[in-house]
C-alpha cells in the first residue's frame, strides 16, 4: 500500500476516533486497520508496537477496537477454563504501555467512553458484573458487583416467576440479596455452577414457585432445586453433586409446609445408608422413641423394635418432610452429618432449637448397628415424598410428539393408570427404575402391555407406550 494512502487512512481513522470519543461510541473497524502500527506475531503469542514487544502467552490475538490512541486487545489462550483475557494498549507516547489482563474470561466486553475520557469495559459472568476503568498508561481499576446490584437490576420491575428461571432469581434486586444472606458468599458463588446449564422456568405449586436447573454438560448429576414463596418470603434450596466434595447442603427459610415438588427432589437425592447410620447411632431407647413419634404422626406402621429397615427409612423421610416447617429447617438426608442432625432434631419438640454443630461433634460415638428384624428387612426403594410412592404420580395431558392437541389424559397413581378416553383402569404388574436418577421408569401393566417414562421432571416426561411416543405435561 502506498505510504501516502496509508497515511491518509491513519489520519481519517484518528479523526473518526476523536469524533467517536466525543460521541461516546467505539471506533472499532476492521482489525487490520484498527492499529496499523501494531504487529501481531506469526504464532499469535505476542504483539509489538514502536519497537516494544509484549508477550501475552496467547494462541491468537485480536485487536478489538480503538478509542483515540487506546486499543482494546483480546488474547485467546486456546484453552477452555478461561480462554480470553483483555488488555488495554496505550499508543499515546513513543513508548507504548499495556495493562494487566482483565475481563471475565469472555470473548466480548462492552466498552463505553465517559465524558471525562475514561473508558469503562463491562463483562458479565453471573453472579458477577465486572467493570474495569481505564484512563491510559498501564493502570486499570476493576470493580466487581453482583448482578442484583447493577443499575439495570435496581430499576427492574418485581420478578415475574412465571417468566423467570433460577438465574433470574439470583440476579433479582429483592431475592438476590436474600439468597446471599442465606447461603453466604462462598456457597452463593458455588451455587452458580448448579444452574449454569439448561434450566426450567418456575411453575406454581400452591403458594410456592418451583424450578430445577443443572450444571452445564452434567444434567441429572449436578442439579439444583429452588422453591420460593412470595407470600411468606421463604426461599429454599437443595443440591446434588457426585463430584469433588459432594453437594452443598440444603438451605433456606421455611415457615409453611414443603411443596410436594420440592419434597420429591429431596426424595430423589436422599441417601439410605446415611439415614441408616444416623438412626443406628441413637441409643436403643432413642430408636424406639423415634419410631413411636413417627407412628403418632401417621408416618410409620411397623413394630416399635428400634430396628432399621424399609419402614423406618420411609418413616424418617416422611416425618422430616411433614415437620420441616415446624423446625424451620430444610432436612439434609444426603450426608451422614446432616442425617445425624436430622434424627436428633426429630426427637425434640419443634419449639426446641436444633442442636448446634459443636453439640453434634460432642455426641456419643456411633453404637454398633443392630440386626434388622425380618419384617422390616427389605432393601428400600428410592426415597419418595410423604404423599407419593413414585415421582410420576398425578394427572397428565399427553400429546403425540410435536402435536398441539391432547391425545389422552391419564392419571398415574401408585398402583394403576387411568386412561380417560378408553374409560379403563389398568393395574401395574411391576414398576422398575431405570438408572439411579429417578427420571426414568419401566412400567409393566397387568394386561401385558409395557410402557416407559423418560426425562421425568416435575412438570413433564416422555411416555413410550405400545410403540407410540407421547409428550406428557402435568
Count Cβ atoms below 10 Å from residue 245 Cβ, excluding itself.
7
444, 449, 450, 456 alpha-carbon torsion, rounded to 10°: -90
For 128, the grid coordinates are 458477577
The CA distance from 66 to 245, in Å, is 45
The answer to whether residue 358 sits within a structural domain is yes
Look at residue 365 in the predicted model and tell me its pLDDT. Answer: 43
Cβ atoms of residues 263 and 316 within 8 Å: no
Q: Cell 410403540: give the residue.
A: 467
pLDDT of residue 472: 86
* pLDDT by residue, tens only, the chain of 474 residues: 444 443 444 445 444 444 443 343 444 333 456 788 899 999 989 999 999 999 998 999 999 999 999 999 999 988 766 788 999 999 999 899 999 998 877 767 889 999 999 999 988 776 788 889 999 999 999 988 888 888 888 888 999 999 999 989 998 999 999 999 999 989 998 888 788 777 789 999 999 999 998 887 677 688 999 999 999 999 999 999 888 788 999 999 899 999 999 999 999 899 999 999 999 999 999 999 999 999 998 999 889 999 999 899 999 999 999 999 999 999 999 999 999 999 999 998 764 444 444 434 444 444 444 444 434 444 444 444 444 577 888 888 888 766 778 888 888 888 888 887 667 788 888 888 776 667 778 888 887 777 888 777 778 888 877 667 788 888
Is residue 82 a part of any domain in this protein?
Answer: yes
Q: What is the model's pLDDT at position 80? A: 64
Does residue 111 sit in helix, strand or coil? strand
CATH number for the domain harbouring residue 433 = 2.40.128
**Which residue reads 399427553 in cell numbers?**
398
Q: How far apart are the first and last CA of the chain?
A: 68
Number of H helices, E strands in the chain: 11, 24
Q: Are residues 287 and 257 in the same domain?
A: no
3-state secondary structure of 343: helix
Shared-domain flag, residues 372 and 408: no
Q: Which strand (E) or helix (H) includes residue 464?
A: strand 460-465
Cβ–Cβ < 8 Å for 84, 76: yes
pLDDT of res. 159: 94
Record the cell numbers describing residue 65, joined without a space. 477496537
Query: By the 8 A CB rule, do 134 and 158 touch?
Result: no
Could you tell me if residue 384 is inside a domain?
no
The answer, yes or no, to whether the previous bond of 24 is cis (omega within 30 of 0) is no
Q: Give the residue ranges of DSSP H helices in 328-371.
A: 336-346, 357-361
pLDDT at position 99: 95
In this structure, are 84 and 11 located in the same domain? yes
Q: Do 122 and 7 belong to one domain? A: yes
Structural domain for 195, as ranges: 161-269
Q: Are residues 332 and 424 in the same domain?
A: no
Does the predicted TM-score (pTM) go above 0.75?
no
Amino acid at each position: 500500500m502506498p505510504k501516502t494512502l496509508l497515511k491518509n487512512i491513519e489520519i481519517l481513522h484518528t479523526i473518526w476516533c476523536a469524533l467517536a470519543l466525543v460521541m461516546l461510541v467505539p471506533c472499532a473497524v476492521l482489525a487490520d486497520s484498527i492499529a496499523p502500527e501494531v504487529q501481531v506475531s506469526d504464532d499469535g503469542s505476542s504483539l509489538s508496537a514502536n519497537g516494544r514487544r509484549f508477550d501475552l502467552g496467547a494462541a491468537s490475538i485480536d485487536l478489538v477496537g480503538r478509542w483515540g490512541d487506546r486499543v482494546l486487545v483480546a488474547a485467546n489462550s486456546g484453552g477452555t477454563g478461561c480462554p480470553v483475557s483483555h488488555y488495554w494498549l496505550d499508543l499515546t507516547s513513543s513508548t507504548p504501555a499495556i495493562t494487566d489482563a482483565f475481563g471475565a474470561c469472555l470473548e466480548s466486553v462492552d466498552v463505553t467512553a465517559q465524558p471525562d475520557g475514561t473508558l469503562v469495559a463491562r463483562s458479565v459472568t453471573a453472579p458477577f458484573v465486572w467493570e474495569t476503568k481505564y484512563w491510559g498508561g498501564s493502570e486499570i481499576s476493576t470493580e466487581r458487583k453482583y448482578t442484583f446490584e447493577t443499575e439495570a437490576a435496581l430499576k427492574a420491575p418485581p420478578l415475574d416467576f412465571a417468566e423467570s428461571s433460577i438465574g433470574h432469581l439470583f440476579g433479582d434486586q429483592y431475592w438476590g440479596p436474600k439468597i446471599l444472606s442465606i447461603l453466604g458468599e462462598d456457597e452463593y458463588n458455588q451455587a452458580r455452577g448448579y444452574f449454569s446449564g439448561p434450566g426450567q422456568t418456575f411453575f406454581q405449586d400452591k403458594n410456592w414457585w418451583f424450578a430445577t436447573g443443572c450444571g452445564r454438560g452434567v444434567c441429572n448429576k449436578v442439579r439444583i432445586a429452588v422453591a420460593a414463596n412470595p407470600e411468606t418470603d421463604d426461599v429454599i434450596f437443595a443440591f446434588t453433586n457426585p463430584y469433588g466434595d459432594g453437594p452443598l447442603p440444603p438451605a433456606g427459610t421455611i415457615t409453611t409446609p414443603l411443596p410436594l415438588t420440592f419434597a420429591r427432589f429431596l426424595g430423589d437425592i436422599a441417601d439410605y445408608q446415611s439415614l441408616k447410620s444416623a438412626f443406628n447411632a441413637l441409643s436403643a431407647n432413642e430408636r424406639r422413641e423415634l419410631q413411636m413419634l413417627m407412628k403418632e404422626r401417621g408416618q410409620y406402621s411397623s413394630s416399635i423394635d428400634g430396628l432399621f429397615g424399609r419402614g423406618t427409612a420411609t418413616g424418617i423421610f416422611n416425618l422430616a418432610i411433614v415437620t420441616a416447617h415446624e423446625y424451620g429447617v430444610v432436612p439434609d438426608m444426603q450426608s451422614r452429618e446432616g442425617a445425624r442432625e436430622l434424627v436428633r432434631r426429630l426427637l425434640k419438640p419443634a419449639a426446641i432449637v436444633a442442636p448446634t454443630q459443636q453439640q453434634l461433634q460432642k455426641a456419643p460415638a456411633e453404637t454398633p448397628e443392630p440386626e434388622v428384624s425380618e419384617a422390616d428387612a427389605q432393601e428400600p426403594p428410592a426415597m419418595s415424598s410423604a404423599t407419593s410412592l413414585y415421582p410420576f404420580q398425578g394427572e397428565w395431558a399427553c400429546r403425540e410428539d410435536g402435536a398441539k392437541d391432547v391425545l389422552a389424559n391419564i392419571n398415574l397413581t401408585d398402583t394403576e393408570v387411568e386412561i380417560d378416553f378408553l374409560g379403563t383402569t389398568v393395574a401395574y404388574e411391576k414398576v422398575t427404575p431405570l438408572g439411579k436418577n429417578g427420571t426414568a421408569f419401566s412400567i409393566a401393566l397387568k394386561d401385558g402391555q409395557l410402557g416407559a417414562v423418560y426425562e421425568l421432571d416435575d412438570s413433564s416426561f416422555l411416555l413410550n407406550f405400545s410403540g407410540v411416543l407421547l409428550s406428557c405435561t402435568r
